[in-house]
Amino acid sequence: MDYRKLGPSGAVVTAYCLGTMTFGAEADEEASNKILDGYFAWGGNFIDTADVYSAGKSEEIIGRWLKTRPTEAQQAVVATKGRFPMGTGPNDIGLSRRHLNQALEASLKRLGVDHIDLYQMHAWDPLTPIEETLRFLDDAVSAGKIGYYGFSNYVGWHIAKSVEIAKARGYTRPVTLQPQYSLLVRDIELEIVAACQDAGMGLLPWSPLGGGWLTGKYRRDQAPAGATRLGENPNRGSESYAPRNAQERTWAIIGAVDDIAKARGVSMAQVALAWTASRPAVTSVILGARTTEQLADNLGAAGLILSDAETTRLNEISAPQPSDYPYGTGGTNQRHRKIEGGR
């Protein structure tokens, strides 16, 4: 079993985390319980949820499961998130002390616990002073309501500013960032990964299979259909079918993953997950499964170590493609050039 430290903390988690966004929606309670049972039977110990997943049902399902599984509950590292609205009032959203206090208490109640191991800010709030948010989180740690805190969907300057303010004021510091990250989405490498490494924070990638694209379930110029995420909603956010289908890079990456999977006798999903788990600063990769069969296949990635040649091929074919400035060679190589004309 591959155990890793939760960022700079002393807590230890498995390299694959069980994401539960499907609980209460795509997976009913019976199916969700089987997924949880299968994950812990495999040896996993890290569960990720959020208050807005199925309007609180995901947390409730996990809470009832933990209550009936005392042994697993003792080992489980539970993470949840707050920030998005669970009500209709003007203060039922954001990272203010008022909203976070209500959100945290509600999550504790739904989960049936008096302590949450990792409490994550689900997205940046441009309206609330970051000092207010950080002070609330520091107080929550001191009160024993949360063990650690982290962020999700933050960009580089959000991370840097938050960490420096926490350091300056003597607050507890964040331990993790949960970003979208996969062979198809590597833009966080331009700045966000470096910000996390500088702060000592671990990464918890979500959507490591690119919404199913990296499993081989979609075909070029053939609109998805059936019981797949894009079959149900082909315009699903950053995973939308039409924009990705139009990019040659998408199919080059899928082709490379498929080649490696066939050569190794494993699934495409396992290749894509093994690549993500091996990336710098990654603590645990979040797996989202609708069925126990999907979960079992995904967990098979734990025993797969890609060769240097395989990794290099995937790295090169999926490399981020920034414009020349500031992240391309016209910007990042400035330190190697003779300074002329004020540059």
Residue 265: CB atoms within 10 Å: 6
The yes-or-no verdict on residue 239 having pLDDT over 80 is: no
Task: Round to whole Å and give the CA distance between 120 and 175.
Answer: 10
pLDDT at 128: 98
Instruction: Let me know: does 215 contact 268? Beta carbons within 8 Å.
Output: yes
Task: Work out the pLDDT band at 243, boundaries 50, 70, 90.
Answer: confident
Closest CA to 85 of 123, 117, 39, 116: 123
Element holding 48 (H helix, E strand): strand 46-48
Residue 210, Cβ density class (10 Å: 0-12 exposed, 13-18 middle, ≥19 buried): buried
DSSP designation for 201: P
Which stretch of DSSP H or E encloses residue 241? helix 241-245
What residue spans define the domains of the chain? Answer: 3-212+277-303
* Residue 39 appears among annotated catalytic residues: no
Q: What class is the 3-212+277-303 domain?
A: alpha beta
Cα pseudo-dihedral 222, 320, 315, 261, rounded to 10: -20
Quick check: 338 pLDDT over 70? no
Residue type, 148: Y
DSSP secondary structure code for residue 287 in this structure? E
Read off the pLDDT of residues 99-123 as tens digits, 9 standing for 90 and up: 999 999 999 999 999 999 999 999 9
Picking from 155, 193, 190, the residue whose alpha carbon sits closest to that of residue 332 is 190
Instruction: Please give the pLDDT value at position 90.
Output: 93
Q: Which is nearest to 281 in space by CA: 5, 30, 1, 2?
A: 5
Catalytic member of 53, 149, 154, 171: 53
What are the pLDDT digits (tens) for 259-301? Answer: 999 999 999 999 999 999 999 999 999 999 899 999 999 999 9
179-234 tens-digit pLDDT: 999 999 999 999 999 999 999 999 999 999 999 999 998 888 766 665 555 545 55
- What is the distance of C-alpha 187 from the center of its chain? 14
